[in-house]
Structure 1
Amino acid sequence: MSEMKYDVVGLGTVVVDHLVLLSHHPVQDAKTNIISDAYQIGGPVPTAQVLLSRLGKQCAFIGSWGDDQYGPLIAEELAGEHLDLSGSHQLPGTRSGYAQVWIDESASTRTIACYRPERWLQPADLDESILTQARVVHLDGWPQETCLHAAQIAQQAGAIVSLDAGSLKPGMDVLIPYLNVMNCPRRFISEYLNTDDILAAGPALLQQGPELVTITDGVNGAWLFTESVHLHCEALPVLSLDTTGAGDLFSGALLYGILEGWPVEQTLKFACVTAALKCERLGNREALPTLAEIKAVLQTKELRLSRLD
């Protein structure tokens, strides 16, 4: 594993986010002024990988975008973050993924309207040689058949297979048995397991295949489950401006700790602090905390970690 070319190979959705900062969210059929706006490249997997790349990990992203006005922006931005895009494809005659993100400054919430591409990479489009050179293969569940095929290849190659579940997607019940690491927000367990009981959901997900499961719940912190350890880490109190991408960065920071071989307690704290620091800033590129910033918080702030097992 130590001789692998890539620390993390990612496969998943990539979109252009148009971030719109508002003083407050307007009521239906009303207007409000825009404070500021900006474009950025988003998506759970590429966002996590940009963090990992900036933290010194070698990453390759496998995805697709259209030949519209946003395609070149996606390719340029991701390549500029030192992600290997040799397994990615521009699909002629298609639109790139796009999302409008309305950020309510007063409430610290965001509302998203997105366009998902009509065409995706198919299993036959995957370069298996890239997947088999990865220590970790990180997924978001899209596109369903391609994601499952990548997980099967990665498992056979002995890679760690990781999923940032986000919202419930088709085929999750088939994909989860191939996972080693699974991260999901609280809303996912409500949709997938029909329960809001995190302490019951963690072990239930472990029984389906993963060796490590994390469940996040915003200001209520995060939970980590393995066969032998159940942990809860409180959230770092911050003045939240924009929560967009916080879960993506939690997943990326979680993988960083795993790749570093840290104890699960240290890894969970690191992921919680990374996600919290991002929320203090707008966007998911300029907002990314540095390793020095994360370590400084970990050294000066005492996050309460509770064992639940």
Structure 2
Amino acid sequence: MAETEPAEFDVVLAGPVFFDIIFTGLDSKPSAGTEVWASGMGSSPGGIANLAVAASRLGLRTALASVFGDDVYGRWCWDVLSSREGVDLSQSRLLPDWHTAVTVSVAEDGDRSMVTHGHDSPISDDTLLEGGIRSRAALADLGAMSSDAAGDSWWLRAARNGTRIFADIGWDSAEAWDPNDLAPLESCYAFTPNSREAMAYTRQDTPLAAARALAKRVPLVVVTCGSDGAIAIDSETGEQISVPSVPVTALDATGAGDVFAGSFVLGTLRDWPLEQRLSFSALCSALAVQHFGGSLAAPGWGDIADWWDRIRLDGDRDLAKRYGFLSDLLPAERASAVRRAEATFYLTDHLPTSEPHSESPADQTPMRGTR
């Protein structure tokens, strides 16, 4: 990226946005012919919005290219992202007569299960970003990257212009785990799979062995291991780091990996040491799972400062030592805690009724490979 053309954004993302409804605190497990009550419920923008909000809440200039349905769900997600979360949607489109994908997520036993309905977008990510966008980093889904038949997709053009590509990948519902899906990594800067995905694609028995195999394909690999922490290998320097998780009471794991990835991008763009980046991302992910709501559970600097104050007051020496770097990172001006997911959302008369980027959709087909 030429010095005469500074990046307009810190991070750009492209992909589908979902309207998420999250249920927590079930009184029993769902089964056929029964009704289950939940003690908690939240609504939030989901899908790629998880990453966008996580990045924006940490102060990254964030742009999102996506398609929103011109229905209550879509307009509410648009309003939350653009007006309340500071995500730039100038590359996105609001489509009349096309409905927003909806996901119902049920959180229990520290994990979640989801049911989704939606349609493939009639406008591709490449079309949304055909004019180009100057960004220091981009977060992209490896599944979409590997299935791209054009050979000159938006992320490849961005990579050639100096944008660092951070790739993630979703669960392979067919469980084929085709190694050819990893081919786009040769144009990426970093890859951030979870341990199950990493081991399945590399045919390795441990997260560390999987990380070492993936490090042969990409300069930086980070394997997240849930309650066992995370592993990172920088193949350019040979540095290998592992960090433990931060102990918390988990409520909802929705979007935790996205929060980790967004936090890691922040640390990378700020040139933090690898161990510090990994520890910071583990903390942000842990803070997120204490709340329900996917994207709206992502922490901001106020939440991080509140946690750091509690750790120092409670006298947890191990955590205080491990996270001592926060004293130098936290903004001098105290930030407030960010807004969380709520059980309901705005009435229709509170939402914008039109958007300058509205377009008519093409024929709708069932959505494939949602998440």
**Common fold: TM-score over 0.5:** yes
RMSD between aligned alpha carbons?
Answer: 2.5
CA distance in 2, matches of 1:25, 1:147: 46
Q: 1:47 to 1:188 in 2, by over 3 A?
A: same
| Range that drifts further, 274-283 or 160-169 | 160-169
CA distance in 2, matches of 1:211, 1:178: 10
SS for the counterpart of 2:29 is coil
Is the contact made by 1:94 and 1:119 (CA closer than 8 Å) also made in structure 2? no
| 2:168 matched residue in structure 1 | 164
Is the contact made by 2:142 and 2:182 (CA closer than 8 Å) also made in structure 1? no
Answer yes or no: is 1:277 the counterpart of 2:287. yes
| 2:67 matched residue in structure 1 | 64
Is the contact made by 2:23 and 2:106 (CA closer than 8 Å) also made in structure 1? yes
CA distance in 1, matches of 2:91, 2:152: 17
Is the contact made by 2:260 and 2:285 (CA closer than 8 Å) also made in structure 1? yes
CA distance in 2, matches of 1:234, 1:290: 21
Following TM superposition, by how much is the alpha carbon of 1:217 offset from its aligned partner in structure 2, in angstroms?
1.5
CA distance in 2, matches of 1:37, 1:292: 24
Superposition pairs for residues 194-213 of structure 1, below 5 Å? 194-208=203-217, 210-213=218-221
Q: 1:24 to 1:216 in 2, by over 3 A?
A: farther
Answer yes or no: is 1:77 the counterpart of 2:85. no
CA distance in 1, matches of 2:254, 2:40: 16
| 1:288 matched residue in structure 2 | 298
Is the contact made by 2:46 and 2:295 (CA closer than 8 Å) also made in structure 1? no
| 1:7 matched residue in structure 2 | 10
For each residue in 1:243-302, what CA deviation from the matched residue of structure 2 results, as whole angstroms up to 9, or x when unmatched?
111101000000010111101010000000000011111213542222243356567453
| Range that drifts further, 283-292 or 260-269 | 283-292
Q: 1:232 to 1:295 in 2, by over 3 A?
A: farther
CA distance in 2, matches of 1:220, 1:246: 14
For normalisation by structure 1, the TM-score amounts to: 0.87
CA distance in 2, matches of 1:286, 1:162: 22
CA distance in 2, matches of 1:79, 1:162: 23
Matched to 1:165, the amino acid is: I
Superposition pairs for residues 230-245 of structure 1, below 5 Å? 230-245=240-255
CA distance in 1, matches of 2:82, 2:209: 41
| 1:223 matched residue in structure 2 | 231
| 1:49 matched residue in structure 2 | 52
| 1:31 matched residue in structure 2 | 35
- Higher-RCO chain (CA-CA 8 Å, sequence separation at least 6): 2
Q: 1:235 to 1:177 in 2, by over 3 A?
A: same
SS for the counterpart of 1:83 is coil
Structure 1: stretches of 5+ with no match in the other structure: none
| 2:138 matched residue in structure 1 | 137
CA distance in 1, matches of 2:276, 2:307: 13
SS for the counterpart of 1:230 is strand
Bigger fraction of residues in strand: 1
Answer yes or no: is 1:254 the counterpart of 2:264. yes
For each residue in 1:87-145, what CA deviation from the matched residue of structure 2 results, as whole angstroms up to 9, or x when unmatched?
112344433221100122xx2332111124223532551334443x1000111246442
CA distance in 2, matches of 1:257, 1:148: 29
Is the contact made by 1:11 and 1:147 (CA closer than 8 Å) also made in structure 2? no
CA distance in 1, matches of 2:74, 2:143: 18
Of all paired residues, the percent bearing the same amino acid is: 26
Following TM superposition, by how much is the alpha carbon of 1:12 offset from its aligned partner in structure 2, in angstroms?
1.8
Is the contact made by 1:141 and 1:147 (CA closer than 8 Å) also made in structure 2? no
| 1:110 matched residue in structure 2 | 112
Is the contact made by 1:87 and 1:130 (CA closer than 8 Å) also made in structure 2? no
Structure 2: stretches of 5+ with no match in the other structure: 323-371
CA distance in 1, matches of 2:245, 2:55: 21
Matched to 1:79, the amino acid is: S
Answer yes or no: is 1:181 the counterpart of 2:190. yes
Q: 1:74 to 1:147 in 2, by over 3 A?
A: farther
| Structure (1 or 2) with the larger CA radius of gyration | 2
CA distance in 2, matches of 1:177, 1:260: 24
Is the contact made by 2:191 and 2:222 (CA closer than 8 Å) also made in structure 1? yes
CA distance in 2, matches of 1:137, 1:8: 5
CA distance in 1, matches of 2:262, 2:247: 20
Is the contact made by 2:199 and 2:210 (CA closer than 8 Å) also made in structure 1? no
| Range that drifts further, 269-278 or 49-58 | 49-58
CA distance in 2, matches of 1:124, 1:223: 32
